Amino acid sequence: MSKQIATKLINSRRFPIGAERVHGKGVHFRVWAPERKTVKLVINSPSENKGDDVVLPPPPTEIELQSEGNGYFSVILQESCVGSLYRYLLDDDPQPYPDPASRFQPQGPHGPSQVVDALTFDWTDADWTGVAAQGQVIYEMHIGTFTHDGNWLAAAKELPELAALGVTVLEIMPVADFPGRFGWGYDGVNLFAPTRLYGTPDEFRYFVNQAHAVGLGVILDVVFNHLGPDGNYLGKFSSAYFSTRYQSDWGDALNFDEPNSAAVRDYVLTNSAYWIKEFHLDGLRLDATQQIFDSSAEHIIAAIVQAVRSAGAPRKTFVIGENEPQDAKLFSPLENGGFGLDALWNDDFHHTAMVAMTGRADAYYSDYRGAAQEFVSTLKRGFLYQGQWYSWQNKTRGTPGLDMPPAKFINFIQNHDQLANSGSGKRVHLLTSPNRYRALTALFLLAPQTPMLFQGQEFAATSPFFYFADHKDEIAQLVARGRADFLAQFRALATPEMQARLPDPCDPQTFTHSKLDLNERNLHKEEYALHRDLLSLRRNDPVFQACQQSSRIDGAVLSPDAWVIRFFGKNPGDDRLLLVNLSRDIHLVPAPEPLLTAPKDCVWDAMWFSDDPHYGGMGMPPWPMKGNWYLQGESAVVLHPITQAKESVNHEQ
């Protein structure tokens, strides 16, 4: 093949690496292996089905790839090889290896790659415009445990119900293929291959297509800070894939700024664009960004954001991140020297809520009191720690982000990490009182920040959510020991009694016990109604809706465990009050707080309350139109203004 023809083939590709069908030209194989002299393709023709008979394929064929002189090797084959299994032989190494950019691993990471034609899926989402950062309600989902069957097709059947609930965006836990029968996905090793455990690539596409059809966006959790310990063959193709300067908490860090890092950067940027283009995803969630190391002039995270934006255009895309140090640079605009993410997870909101709900303030909860001031501050300013001293880490935490809009902070009271970190895997509603849980759920879902539910939270699922990962032999022992050591930071979980009761991550029952029982939607109708009604209020009430787009709120402490948040409407006097009391009953005498004042010629009346019997509460007496207020213990109430004339009519009735 001439260099000119090779260049034309490369330019005809959608992505620069992997096996890709180039329309009208064949299947083009391209791989980066700069330290190798020869690369051979070992490919099996797909089996033929003729009625009940299966015609066995011929023996595998070896085809030498042509060196392009830049570390890349490539070859073009006929389109008939779609569906074939293949691997690469590198120099004199007798063991063949899967493609580093494999599109599917039907036998897992240790097996051969498969040629996939991404152009045959019949998309019907041409009118879908994507997902903006504003006005979203996120739902974190693990495909393997969301349904009993644990696959894309079973999950797709539940999408209309999630849309009706008020969810707008699904955040899918990582799906890059990993070894074993089950796992969270954070030890993926085939970054381009959606795991065979949940179905085929086209079944993943079907899931996304169905989500768009019912109005749901889909973003994918991706891991660019390390690869898993088992099945990772990148180093066979080049040692430059991994850094010698940095070490991730979970293994070798990817090389984004050392010699030969340009191709590694391209590998990750191509992967970022690939999920958006080939699967019509609406964005990404970047895992543990503090462990993505890069001293380049353009940080790889900023480059990832740009790659996603470009791949999604003209559709809107939504890119969020996890960043334990809470560095506001990540979601500052690119033009201001930031990385341009749309939002970050807000651990501070979760931590103070957990302390308030459980009374426990151990380990990484130790710098939180769960007090009224913290809730007022986090609703007004997002992160609680923006540079103050953080005793648990014996250093400052966070950077200033006082002017950031509320949508940039993703609040949650449950997620995959925090449920598993309880040791018992128990859902939060089982660790606190029902009244207190309803009150804080109201605050969580009505706050101007972006809320994120974890699967099953909306119906108070009784199934736990454990850490599970199917490893073998020595790795399994190391994973179990590492998990136990991590949880030992909590003094109660460090006791021999609790250490002995920690679930084994590699036990299949740990995985199966984490599966949702979706029948609980009907069994727990009160909890389901609570979430449905609050999300409806958030979406449809003009004041709550407007306050998500700007910081049109203020708040005040009424007691150590009670507070008020005032949501200011666009029109004068069209405000809302949210009163939350996590302690015993309070009679507000005196009431020297200006935020409690009703708009001119109006009085406050209740429009929603957490003690409603429809949610399992014990009821609430009519809101007093005159005199001081009486706040029921462990409750929340939403007030809206009514005119004096209307109040007089209501009083006469």
DSSP assignment string, 430-451: GSS-HHHHHHHHHHHHHSSSEE
Answer with the one of 81, 99, 114 that is the final residue of a domain: 114
Higher pLDDT, 647 or 160: 160
Question: Helices 300-312 and 261-279 meet at what angle, rounded to 10?
Answer: 30
Mean pLDDT is lowest, of 131-145, 185-199, 300-314, 468-482, for 468-482
Q: Label residues 443-453 b or e (16+ Cβ within 10 Å = b).
A: bbbbbbbbbbb
Report if residue 16 sits inside a domain.
Answer: yes
Res 53: pLDDT? 56
Three-state SS for 339-368 is: CCCCEEECHHHHHHHHHHHHCCCCHHHCCC
The packing angle between helices 434-446 and 525-540, to 10°, is 20
**Partners of 50 in the beta sheet?**
53
Cis peptide before 96 (omega within 30 of 0): no
Residue at a domain's end among 92, 114, 136: 114
Distance CA(250)–CA(473), nearest Å, equals 18
- 66 in any annotated domain: yes
CB 620, CB 442: distance < 8 Å:
no
- The pLDDT score that the predictor gives to residue 55 is 56
Residue for token pair 């809520």: 353
Q: How far apart are the first and last CA of the chain?
A: 90
pLDDT recorded at residue 49: 47
Per-residue confidence (pLDDT) for residue 652, from 0 to 100:
46
Q: What pLDDT digit, counting tens, does each position of 276-333 carry?
A: 999 999 999 999 999 999 999 999 999 999 999 999 999 999 999 999 999 999 999 9
Structural domains in the chain (count): 2
Q: What are phi and psi of 336, to 5 degrees?
A: -100, 15
Enumerate the β-bridge partners of residue 557.
563
Task: Say which CATH number the domain at 606 has.
Answer: 2.60.40.1180
Token pair listed for 622: 């009519």
Does residue 362 belong to any structural domain of this protein? no
- Can you list the pairs that 263-269 forms with residues at least 24 positions away whose Cβ atoms lie under 8 Å? 263/32, 263/34, 263/71, 263/238, 264/240, 265/296, 265/300, 265/303, 266/16, 266/17, 267/17, 267/32, 267/100, 267/101, 267/191, 267/241, 268/191, 268/224, 268/300, 268/304, 269/300, 269/303, 269/304, 269/307
Residue 23 belongs to a domain: yes
Domain span including residue 87: 3-114
The single-letter code of the amino acid at 44 is N
Q: What percent of the chain has pLDDT over 90?
A: 89
Could you give the residue numbers annotated as active site?
Answer: 287, 322
Q: What would you measure as the largest C-alpha separation in the chain, in angstroms?
A: 94
Distances, alpha carbon 597 to alpha carbons 66, 442, 559, 591, 605, in Å: 77, 22, 17, 10, 12
* Residue at a domain's end among 69, 92, 114: 114
In a domain, 199, yes or no: no
Rounded distance, CA 85 to CA 96, Å?
12
State the CATH number of the domain containing residue 39. Answer: 2.60.40.10
Does 34 have pLDDT greater than 80?
Answer: yes
Name the residue among 331, 211, 222 with its Cα closest to residue 283.
222
Which region among 112-116, 192-196, 335-339 has the lowest average model confidence (pLDDT)? 335-339
CA 270 – CA 276 distance, rounded (Å): 10
Average pLDDT over residues 463-471: 96
* 544 to 242, 537, 551: CA distances (angstroms): 47, 7, 11
Name the 3-class secondary structure at 152.
helix
R_g over Cα of the chain: 27
Three-state secondary structure readout of 294-338: CCCCCCHHHHHHHHHHHHHCCCECEEEECCCCCCHHHHCCHHHCC
Question: Of all residues in the chain, what percent are helix, strand and coil, respectively (each to 5)?
Answer: 35, 20, 45
- The alpha carbon dihedral of 112, 113, 115, 121 has a sign of positive
pLDDT band at 56 (very low <50, low <70, confident <90, very high): low
Pairing of strands 409-411, 343-345: parallel
| Neighbour-count burial of 191, counting CB atoms closer than 10 A to its CB (0-12 exposed, 13-18 middle, 19+ buried) | buried
- Count of C-beta atoms within a 10 Å radius of residue 473: 9
d(CA 22, CA 232): 28
Q: Which two tokens stand for residue 466?
A: 């454990």
Nearest to 417 by CA among 251, 221, 159: 221
pLDDT of residue 30 exceeding 50: yes
Q: What is the mean pLDDT of the segment spanning 497-516?
A: 95
pLDDT at 650: 53
Secondary structure of residue 608 in the 3-state scheme: strand
**Residue 550, pLDDT above cutoff 80:** no
HEC letters along 373-387: HHHHHHHHHCCCCCC
616 lies in a domain? yes
**Mean pLDDT in residue range 223-248:** 95
Burial of 204 (0-12, 13-18, 19+ CB in 10 A): buried
| 479, 471 contact by CB (below 8 A) | yes
Q: How far is CA 291 from the centre of its chain?
A: 17
By C-alpha distance, which of 276, 314, 319 is closest to 301? 319
Element (H, E) at 483: helix 473-487
Report the candidate in 635, 571, 576, 652 with the shortest Cα–Cα distance to residue 607. Answer: 576
| Residue 416 · residue 429 · CB < 8 Å | no
Are the C-beta atoms of residues 75 and 62 closer than 8 Å to each other?
A: no
Domain assignment of residue 276, yes or no: no
Q: Over the chain, what is the mean pLDDT?
A: 94
Domain assignment present for residue 590? The answer is yes
Q: Work out the average pLDDT over 646-653.
A: 53
Summarised one tens digit per residue, pLDDT across range 387-412 is: 999 999 999 999 999 989 999 999 99
